[in-house]
Structure formats: structure tokens, C-alpha cells
Amino acid sequence: MTSYKKISRDVIKKADILLEVVDARFPDETRNMEVERDIVRAKKPFIIVLNKCDLVSKQPLERTKSRLSKIAPTVFVSSKNKSGTTILRHKILETANKKGGEILVGSLGYPNTGKSSVINAVTGRHRAGTSSISGHTKGVQHINAGSRIKFIDTPGVIPFGENDECIQGLLAVRDSTHLQDPIGVAMTIIGKICAENKTVLESSYNITIEEQDSYGVLELIGKQSNFLKKKAEVDETRAAVKIINDWQNGRLVI
């Protein structure tokens, strides 16, 4: 943990401007308040980058952008679809407020939020190493993006405890086979989607959600998927694994 803190603080010290890359599906959970405080203390400008916006519908994205823009300039992008990257490039040049010379941009964020993918999308080339495996970036890399911009790509900042399975499941830091409580993680996913747009679950699993709580929705999905044990009881674990896999593979768009 200490090494990650040291790296992030070193990047903050060296950079002219910082990008905090968060997951657009749960921006509050994937912001790192300690890192933000370090940036403010260092009197460095920063931009909040809402990555994976292709997995969120426009209305909640706009609400989140409006809210977070009160904290720092906020841009939503999809490194997968290459959308929003030109806006981000312009926002970097504008926010850095540096006349002439190279602009050194530090990228920070949680594991698996897609920091390296954002850099590649902005540069237009595969310059930062990426992987579906969390923590792929092992050391600091300097990446020339042209137009005065040079990125510092870093390993992910670890913001959660080793036992915080829900955030690790949400971020796909751990897949369903490595979770001790997949049912709890699946219920967290269900609760979040129901709060934002329950029709996503209804259309994805061909169910109708009425007054059920998260566990009740899990049972509905299990029954509809024919995940049954003896005596027609729902196999909650199989249903939970399916939901987690669908979430982590981007099949559930809020």
C-alpha cells in the first residue's frame, strides 16, 4: 500500500495537471478522496474523467457530470468507443493553464478504471500497456501524446481494503470465481441498477420487478434462468455468478 501512495504523491509532484480516472457506472465509489486532497494541497489542477461512459445512459451521465463539475472539470469518455477523447485533450490544454512548453499529465485512479486505455484513446495509438487483468501497469511510464501533452501512466492506486469484496467485484478486480460472497456482490449490483434503471434488469433477464428487494430480484433472475436445486429451490449462487459475469463483461448497461 505504501508504495502506491509514494508513487501517486510523486506523480502529483511532477505533473502539471492530473487526471483522476473513475468508472462512470459508480463515480462516487471510484473517486479517491485521499488522492484528491493531495492534489489540492499541492495546488495542482485536476480533471475528473468518467471512463466507460458507453456502459451508462445519457441522463445519469449528465447528472453525474453536473454534480462533479462543482469539484473539478469533468469529462466523460469511452476509451472503448474513442468518444470524448478530443474534448478531454482540449480540456487538458485549457485546464493546465500553461503558456508554451510541454504539459506533463499524471493519470491516477483505482485499479481497473481504465487509466491506460484512456491514455491510448487520447493519443490514438496503443502506447500504454493494457490488460483485462487488474494491476497490469506495473511501473511508471512516460507517453508522448503530441500537441505538447505527455502522460505519466501509473499503477492503480489501491483505495479499498483487501476484504472489501463488493467494490472489487464491481470493478472486476476479482471475477466471480475469486469472490467469497458472490451473492452479496450480486445483490449490490442489483441494488445499484434498480436505483438507476430497473428496466435494464427486466429486459436483460425477461423479468418484472415490482416490490422485491435485491434478494427477491436475485431469486426472480434465478427462476427465469432455470437455476434450480432440488425441490425447485433457486440456486442463488449460480444466479449471482451470472449477474456478476454479465456486469463485468459490460452486458448490463445502466
End position of a domain, from candidates 90, 122, 153: 153
Residue 230 confidence (pLDDT): 82
Nearest to 238 by CA among 170, 176, 163: 176
Residue 72 confidence (pLDDT): 93
**Do 144 and 173 fall into the same domain?**
no
Burial 235-250 (b: 16+ CB within 10 A, else e): bbbbbbbbbbbbbbee
Q: With helix as H, strand as E and coil as C, how does 4-18 read?
A: HHHHHHHHHHHCCEE
Which residue, chain included where needed, has cell 445499484? 192
Residue 128 confidence (pLDDT): 45
Residue 254 inside a domain? The answer is no
**Do 106 and 175 fall into the same domain?**
no
- CA 165, 169, 173, 178 dihedral sign is positive
Burial 176-188 (b: 16+ CB within 10 A, else e): beebeebbebbbb
Domain housing 87? 2-153
Angstrom CA distances, 203 to 154, 170, 197, stand at 39, 21, 11
Element (H, E) at 199: helix 199-205
**Do 149 and 178 fall into the same domain?**
no
End position of a domain, from candidates 128, 153, 178: 153
What gap in Å lies between CA 112 and CA 59, rounded to an integer? Answer: 24
**Do 135 and 14 fall into the same domain?**
yes
3-state secondary structure of 84: coil
Q: Quote the distance between the C-alpha of residue 67 and its chain's center.
A: 17
Burial 85-99 (b: 16+ CB within 10 A, else e): beebbebbeebbeee
Residue 158 inside a domain? The answer is no
Residue 98 confidence (pLDDT): 74
Residue 47 confidence (pLDDT): 95
Residue 159 inside a domain? The answer is no
Residue 207 inside a domain? The answer is yes
**Do 86 and 201 fall into the same domain?**
no
**Do 13 and 111 fall into the same domain?**
yes
**Do 128 and 25 fall into the same domain?**
yes
Under 8 Å CB-to-CB from 31, ≥6 apart: which residues? 20, 22, 48
Residue 253 inside a domain? The answer is no
Residue 214 inside a domain? The answer is yes
**Do 85 and 139 fall into the same domain?**
yes
CATH number at residue 233: 1.10.1580
**Do 207 and 83 fall into the same domain?**
no
CB atoms under 10 Å from CB of 56, counted, come to 23
Residue 197 inside a domain? The answer is yes
Residue 143 confidence (pLDDT): 81
CATH number at residue 145: 3.40.50.300
Under 8 Å CB-to-CB from 100, ≥6 apart: which residues? none
**Do 37 and 138 fall into the same domain?**
yes
Q: Is the pTM of this model over 0.95?
A: no
**Do 127 and 193 fall into the same domain?**
no
Residue 156 confidence (pLDDT): 53
- Number of structural domains in the chain: 2
3-state secondary structure of 137: coil
What gap in Å lies between CA 154 and CA 63, rounded to an integer? Answer: 29
Average confidence (pLDDT) per 10 residues, the chain, 254 residues: 72 91 88 89 94 88 92 89 87 83 87 82 61 43 80 64 74 85 92 87 92 92 92 91 92 84
What gap in Å lies between CA 229 and CA 250, rounded to an integer? Answer: 28
**Do 128 and 225 fall into the same domain?**
no
